Structure 1
Amino acid sequence: MTVEPGPAVLWLGLGVVLAIPYILAGRRLGDGGTRWWMLGLIVAALVYVGFAVARSAPPMAIAFEAGGVFLYGAIAANGLRGDVRWIGAAWLLHPVWDIGLHHPGGFAYAPTEYVLLCSTFDVVVGVYLLLGSMGAVLEDTRS
């Protein structure tokens, strides 16, 4: 990862900004956006597979990234059973993948700008989902 501090902050901020319309779109869906949140997470993981393939990464790296799609998809799939907190947790875990694998000395095929943008996007969506589900739980206990 080599991005100057100034531009790095811009990419981190762009991730926050882009998460807002994504969240607003998901809020408009009748099912609470459960499938929207899950599919978005799978797409975010698939992007890394695309980078690995496009940049001719070793087959082991491509397989590892594909395993990440399965891992995050499996965690998020629990949210389809009605508990969106699973999807929120998966979104919050995804930055560990973003930064943990694509740090200096890590897998070099993902552009640093995307890693930065994706990590803050993921955190904003994950926090939104967890806080929103906590609000729903609190409302249920008041009833």
Structure 2
Amino acid sequence: MSSHDGDKDSISLQVTVYLAEKDLDTFFEALGSVFNQIASEPYCTLFEVYQSQEDKGQILMLKNWSSTREWLVDVGMRRPYLDEYHAITEPLFLRPKDTKILDRKGGKWSIVKKSNGQIWDGDDDGGHDESKIKGTKIVL
């Protein structure tokens, strides 16, 4: 098996960080500087960010990749454009980040409805403009 075998591999990287509420603006500004670069990676198939309702400083970043764990760890997570993001955000963490790499089940175990939000085909600047929302394909 090569370091990347296309559609055969599908993994999810889930990273939870813990911040003081006073540092959220700094964190989101730094994340915004790399969000589209990560989303534009050829093997990135999903990138979503969540914020805890109970603890606003708890942020979950969910990234799905059509790659192997080895590619993600050895290549994807070592992109030079991430260096500044890490330098800015890691000193803000109240405790070490939680990182999990999971095998995605996908196929019949995955669905995204248009009502879930924007669907980006990856051919533009990130699709943050409502006029660039694309239709969705539901996989059952």
What TM-score do you get using the length of structure 2 for normalisation? 0.29
Structure with the larger helix share: 1
Of Structure 1 and Structure 2, which has the larger fraction of its residues in strand? 2
Given the two structures, how large is their TM-score scaled by the length of structure 1?
0.29
